[in-house]
Structure 1
Amino acid sequence: MDKILIKNARVVNENSVIEADVLIEKDLIARIGPDISDDTARVVDIDGNYLLPGLIDDQVHFREPGLTHKGDIASESRAAVAGGITSYMEQPNTNPQTVTLEKLEEKFAMAAKASFANHSFLFGGTNDNLEEIKRLDKNACSGVKLFLGSSTGNMLVDDEEVIEKIFRNTEMVISAHCEDEGTIRANLERYKKEYGDDIPVKFHPLIRSAEACYLSSSKAVELAKKTGARLHVFHLSTGRETDLFRNDIPLKDKKITAEVCIHHLWFSDADYDNKGTLIKWNPAVKTAQDRAQLWEALLDDRLDVIATDHAPHLLEEKDQVYTKAPSGGPLVQHALPAMLEKYHEGVLSLEKIVEKMCHNPAILFDIEKRGYVREGYFADLAVVDLKDAWKVTKENIAYKCGWSPFEGTTFRSKISHTFVNGHLAYENGKFSPEPHGRRLTFVR
């Protein structure tokens, strides 16, 4: 059916909540208003539940190509829509890596056939692909990714001359993983001398330390100021780093922005004893004080975006000694329920969730006609029931890897419906059999 009429919604959008109906025609939002009627439309009555713009996750690792035993575009995008995420930006550290224009377009071709959510890909910078970056059209993809600290995939960019040339030679957003590699290697060797490979995971935030994060992120920010580059620092994990960012100008005017991820807002180093390597991420989950300072910076708008850094690994891969257990974990299905818990706790409002997870990614990356509930925009929408509690179990986890760091957690809110380009992609635990995700477009 070409028309869907969502009735009795509480629409959360642009810092307000209004009671309205929403008429979808084909892939667009046609009308928003009270008491809409259309005899030719399929009616979806959401009975006073909340209607949000579809979430935009600016950092995921869906593992295709080359690492599809962990996850793939189809499996992880399905999990994303189950969590109300309708658009994502996938990272370049796959196998092969997305570091040539040819490999970038191959990824888009894969996603065109398989993705249940809208998609773009970040183009990976390396020590030797500056000429490829210069050839990259500014509207071809979501941006350039630089690993200024090594992580899964070994894409470390450590030549400072090359880094500065990249900063000077692209108009696109440069998204950076910031950890100082020299500091990390020195810390790791110190702990290996004492423990060998079986280092207690509680030392992870001391190996990938706050000092390593600040040293790298502060250098990146200074270089962006020097060159005028558009810098977005991924997954801040320390309180100290938050002072590098501004909240005295609108997001659209910022040249230097930052993101915080679900795990750094939820967990602390006190959780390593219970969760072990399941919460081993790069950058590391750090102290409760760091977590509190991240929340403070998020709420006062020094931090602009909430994302997931969704990065699945098999349990048997995670269940190894410290030096062999990979960093990362799956999060897209549970990111919005986790933040809605913080709404129930009075930490942040629904409007602020929508700002940080829908509006701001659209602004930051100049995404065309997404991230808002607006007439003429693509009908990417998520319906949230704030009173439908559920427990995360293996049976309801949608990730291909089959586990979640939230397993055993009871959330008070549930995503009941997700619309992608006007198509009902997810409804009460059931997925559309066909993918309807599209390539994201940009207006730069």
Structure 2
Amino acid sequence: MGLIVVGALLLMLPNATYQGISFVDALFTSTSAVCVTGLIVVDTNSYFTAFGQTLIMLLIQAGGLGILTFASYFSYFFKGGSTYENQLALSDMTNSEKIGEVFTTVKRILTITFLIEFIGAILIFFNLDKALIPSFSERVYFSVFHSISAFCNAGFSTLPNGMMEDSYVYNYPLQFIIVIIFVFGGLGFPIVINSVRYIKHLIARYILWFVEKKNNYRPWILTLSNKINLLTTSILIILGTVIIYIKEYYNVLGNHQGLGKVVTALFTATTPRTAGFNSIDFSQMHFSSIIIIIFLMWVGASPASTGGGIKTSTFAIATLNYFSLAKGKTRIEVFRREIADISVRRAFAVMSLSLLVIGISVYLISHYDNHVPLLDIAFESFSAYSTVGLSLGITGDLSSESKLVLIGTMFVGRVSMLTILIAFFKKVRQGNYHYPSDEILIN
């Protein structure tokens, strides 16, 4: 909240914009940047100066990495260490097995973040048309801005219409690179670190087997959480791409040919999972396709990532629970492991709270702007809660009250309602007793 307010005040500085900006619009832009959403009420390119755009980029970077990561990492140097409680929180967030590994893991997080953003910026730079951006320094700035925005799943662009610009909409290599960058950002730091460890083990294992004929197999290097998240992410990307490709083949994909249709369908199916970039006009899509987009936005990215939504693990646990109940099982089993009961309870709490917050957001916006179609409002609310940044084109025309509702929705979506409840409710010490259990009639 502090970073959002400071960001809003900085964006109101005279040299941050060309014509000045209202506090509500500055607060909206700052919230959208810190919460890595990407919804905009004013055009980033024409409204903000180079200084203002740089402020937005820095707010995106800070929001993407997470305040806890930054605060804990720097407190380690400034104070000569960190509290035990803070290290426990960090170990849970970064998926570290030992508390002593926490700051090593945070260093890896920062290293991986800046390395991927650096490589992404280089790849974007070499896929830009020099005729469109003749200045070398402007191409560098464009590349850095979009690499950070993509990795942090922010969706901000210095182009007036994003990737829908006529000069960029057919630049498929550039679009594919941006997809790779924001998919990496949406996977989550624990998954990336754990996957790198697993790949290193595979390489070492097969080299040892080839050289010395020894099988150096070690089980469960890839954790259960990572297996579930990687599998769910892959299924959502493939199914989303196939559905969009089939349904929009003659509609929004009609102007593209061959491989271009595939890349555009892939871009369209992956960007709702909190990236927020658009290479097509979402308002021109079929109604059924928009429903699919809303669902993908709601699920979002993986936990401990730069993305939002209810997260892939939450959706996976809920789906596995359906099958488990249908089979008459009393527990959820997957990959020869049993999912802890607390994880199941958290998953359903996150899902129900997300729908509650989105429902309140839809109700309030429809109250303040009752002339706006319900589908557009619902799309906007899901996009804000899941920190996606996609819109059917109503954001800038909303009333100040509706903009404040979206600001609150973005903030709650980024922090999560469950976290807010935990912060406000006093922890109760669990007694060493159990009441007699009773089943409640359901369905």
Output the TM-score relative to the length of structure 2.
Answer: 0.32
Task: Tell me which of the two structures has the higher relative contact order, counting C-alpha pairs closer than 8 angstroms and 6 or more residues apart.
Answer: 1
Output the TM-score relative to the length of structure 1.
Answer: 0.32
Instruction: Please identify the structure whose Cα radius of gyration is greater.
Output: 2
Which has more strand, going by share of residues? 1
